[in-house]
Amino acid sequence: MYDGEARIEVILLGIPAVLLILINGIVYLAAVASFPTPLQVSGPVVFLGVVDIGLAILLGFVLLFYLLSDDSLRRGSLSALIVILGAFSLWLGGGFVVGFVLAIIAGVIGIVFAQSPLPPKTPEGLYSQPTTPVVSQTTPHSEALLPRSAGSMIVRYCPKCDARNSGDARICQNCGATLYGGT
Ligand SMILES: [Zn+2]
């Protein structure tokens, strides 16, 4: 499993966890508002509810930063934070315990797969080619775009990495760059 796939699972588990913890907090406040309770009871319950809602919002932001992070070390740290916040939520009701369990699983998956590389976004990423096009020193760039004859075989040189490709190739076999003038 790629980290990219793990990221989807972390988000799919994390969002219900946030919602459950949030609803748990709202239920505390709603319960106090609905039933006449002495101040000794309502005070701590309101406190729990407010802290729980705050925790849900914080967890939501951590999930958002996790989703947007391209750095594996940061994703690992944010996943650890998801576990810590999830564990802390149990003290406040843990999103009916289900939210707590989902957050812990999401965080652990995030930690385990934070070390795996993300799938390459471009074909170039596969081969870690330089980002600047390598222009052949012996051949002018414009000429490199055109097919060249080598013996009886028509070949096409890549304008980006100068790799040799067959004459009918549309993309470079080495770096995946588009070969212009394809037939
Ligand atoms: Zn190439």
pLDDT in tens, 99-115: 888 998 989 998 888 77
Lowest mean pLDDT among 75-79, 104-108, 119-123, 173-177: 119-123
Residue 156's DSSP bridge partners are: 147, 165
Q: How far does residue 129's CA lie from ligand 1's centre (Å)?
A: 9
Q: How far does residue 153's CA lie from ligand 1's centre (Å)?
A: 19
Q: How far does residue 162's CA lie from ligand 1's centre (Å)?
A: 6
Q: How far does residue 176's CA lie from ligand 1's centre (Å)?
A: 6
What's the rounded Cα separation, in Å, for the pair 109 and 129?
Answer: 31
Longest dimension (CA), the chain: 96
* 3 state SS of 154: strand
Count H helices and E strands in the chain, helices first.
6, 3
**Amino acid identity of 51?**
V
Whether this prediction's pTM lies above 0.75 is answered by no
